[in-house]
A and B are shown apart, each in its own frame.
Chain A
Amino acid sequence: MRFPTKTASIKEQQELADIIQKNVKDCYQCLKCSAGCPLTEHMDYYPHQVMLLAKMDLYEKIFNSKTLWVCASCLACSSRCPRDLEPAKVMEGLRTMIIRKRGEGNVEVVNPKGVPRQALISSMRKLRR
């Protein structure tokens, strides 16, 4: 893997820290998050890889990944994280940074017919706002 040199600015790092109130640098890569994640087959980076990239300030890579939009916030990773870093929260923080910048998410609700409203409200709140 070739590492890019463009790292997140101090402002971006501060923004993430403000949103999640956690220090991603505390992650010690135990892989518990990825081991328990039920949706990894649809992801390009596994949750622990997102944590590693966040730790190395390589936000750009995460912003361009599919993983952020596949995470369903089921909290299996957050509940099991031995460092209490809540990977689902980190994902939400990074997703929120994109959404706030663009003013919209990158996901369209394509099939709203017959879907329980709980799913519609959740996906609007998580992915579009």
Chain B
Amino acid sequence: MLGYYPGCTVRAHQNENFEKEALAILKVLGISVEELSEWECCGAIYPLTNDEYVPLLSSVRALKRTEEEKKEGLLTLCSACYHVLKRVNHRMNNDKEAKRRVENYLDDKYEGTTKVLHLIEVLRDQVGYKKIKEHVASSLEGEKIATYYGCLFLRPEKEMELLDAENPGVMEEIVKALGAEPVIYPYRTDCCGAYHASDKEEVSNGASLKIVMSAKKAGATQLVTACPLCKHNLEHCQKDLQDEQKLPVHFITAPIYEALGAEKKADEQPLAN
């Protein structure tokens, strides 16, 4: 049983169905998850300053709760939550000073046994592309899907250790398993402008539009990502384009959900939680 950490943005934007689709896919593929009994926002961004410890606290609480509830790992859907939880975990296990201060503050010990997992990682390691292929009910043949990784999912490479940060291939393999054609384009690991969406819109729009245009040029019919903020930026930057020029942006779960026919299958049994 994996512990499930929804995170603030995924939970707040339920109408985008990221959570619903992800839970349905996991159910179909036989991975059992249960939401942590209590959780709070991970902090949205990992502090790069070495002398601040307060921004680590909420993530440590989630890691500790996973340990207490004896889950095999902590599953996240959002790239940012994954990034923050994984780096905080890394810091707690490698920086004695940070661990001492955080534990003093929380007045509690964290053993450091929690493993932070991303949905993509679970699909790759615990399910496998072969099993995904076997479960495909309606192949997505003819779809050309561009995958966008973004920054927090991949970097810093030596701490995230999930994918090759310069040439990741996991989402492409998943897309292939669904029967669609993955589109390789130059900017799939470049930053979308991230939090500048809230203060310097021209920065995030410019960066995102470059990504969208490059995917379109490479022949994509849709763009998929695993980060709610990337999805917002990639969609928002196209607001001034004509409808026929727009490239639809989805979560990576959308094509999987569609190909597996997860909606029908999930209806037969209620989802976890």
Whether a CB of chain B sits under 8 angstroms from the CB of A86 is yes
Whether a CB of chain A sits under 8 angstroms from the CB of B151 is yes
Q: Which residues of B contact A74 (CB under 8 A)?
A: 151-152, 155, 190-191, 194
The listed residue with most B CB atoms (<10 A of its CB), out of A73, A76, A115, A119, is A119
Which stretch, A5-13, A17-25, A50-58, touches the partner chain B? A17-25
Q: Is the CB of B203 within 8 A of A72?
A: yes
Q: Which residues of B contact A79 (CB under 8 A)?
A: 154-158, 165
Whether a CB of chain A sits under 8 angstroms from the CB of B200 is yes
Q: Is the CB of B157 within 8 A of A107?
A: no
Find residues 74-129 in chain A having any chain B CB closer than 8 Å to their own CB: 74-76, 78-79, 86, 88-89, 92-93, 96, 107-112, 115-123, 125-127
Q: Is the CB of B228 within 8 A of A118?
A: yes
A19 interface neighbour in B51, B191, B201, B229, Cβ under 8 Å: B51
Can you sample 27 A-B contacts with CB below 8 Å?
A19-B49, A39-B193, A42-B202, A42-B203, A73-B194, A74-B152, A74-B155, A75-B151, A75-B152, A76-B189, A79-B155, A86-B48, A88-B48, A89-B48, A93-B48, A93-B49, A96-B49, A110-B199, A115-B232, A116-B197, A116-B228, A116-B229, A118-B229, A119-B232, A121-B8, A121-B43, A122-B229
Q: Is the CB of A72 within 8 A of B232?
A: no
The listed residue with most A CB atoms (<10 A of its CB), out of B12, B45, B157, B195, is B195
A38 interface neighbour in B12, B48, B157, B191, Cβ under 8 Å: B191
Q: Is the CB of A111 within 8 A of B190?
A: no
Whether a CB of chain A sits under 8 angstroms from the CB of B44 is yes
Q: Which residues of A contact B80 (CB under 8 A)?
A: 118, 122
Q: Which residues of A contact B203 (CB under 8 A)?
A: 39, 42, 70, 72
Interface range for A: 35 or more
The minimal Cβ–Cβ distance linking B201 to chain A, given in whole angstroms, is 6
Bound state CA distance, A113 and B139, in angstroms? 38
B195 interface neighbour in A92, A93, A119, Cβ under 8 Å: A119
Interface range for B: 35 or more
A119 interface neighbour in B151, B154, B198, Cβ under 8 Å: B198
Contact with A along B187-213 (1 / 0, CB 8 A): 101110111111111111011001000
Q: Is the CB of A111 within 8 A of B198?
A: yes
Find residues 151-195 in chain B having any chain A CB closer than 8 Å to their own CB: 151-152, 154-158, 165, 187, 189-191, 193-195
Bound state CA distance, A21 and B48, in angstroms? 10
Whether a CB of chain A sits under 8 angstroms from the CB of B137 is no
Q: Which residues of B contact A118 (CB under 8 A)?
A: 8-9, 44, 78, 80, 195, 228-229
Contact with A along B71-92 (1 / 0, CB 8 A): 0000000101000000000000
The minimal Cβ–Cβ distance linking A43 to chain B, given in whole angstroms, is 10
Bound state CA distance, A50 and B201, in angstroms? 23
Closest to A84 in B: B158
Q: Is the CB of B44 within 8 A of A121?
A: yes
Q: Is the CB of B45 within 8 A of A109?
A: no
Bound state CA distance, A122 and B81, in angstroms? 12
The minimal Cβ–Cβ distance linking A21 to chain B, given in whole angstroms, is 5
Closest to B157 in A: A79
Q: Which residues of A contact B195 (CB under 8 A)?
A: 72, 118-120, 122-123, 126
Q: Is the CB of A116 within 8 A of B194?
A: no
The minimal Cβ–Cβ distance linking B112 to chain A, given in whole angstroms, is 21
Bound state CA distance, A19 and B151, in angstroms? 23
Q: Is the CB of B200 within 8 A of A125?
A: no
Q: Is the CB of B44 within 8 A of A125?
A: yes
Q: Which residues of B contact A123 (CB under 8 A)?
A: 195-196, 198-199
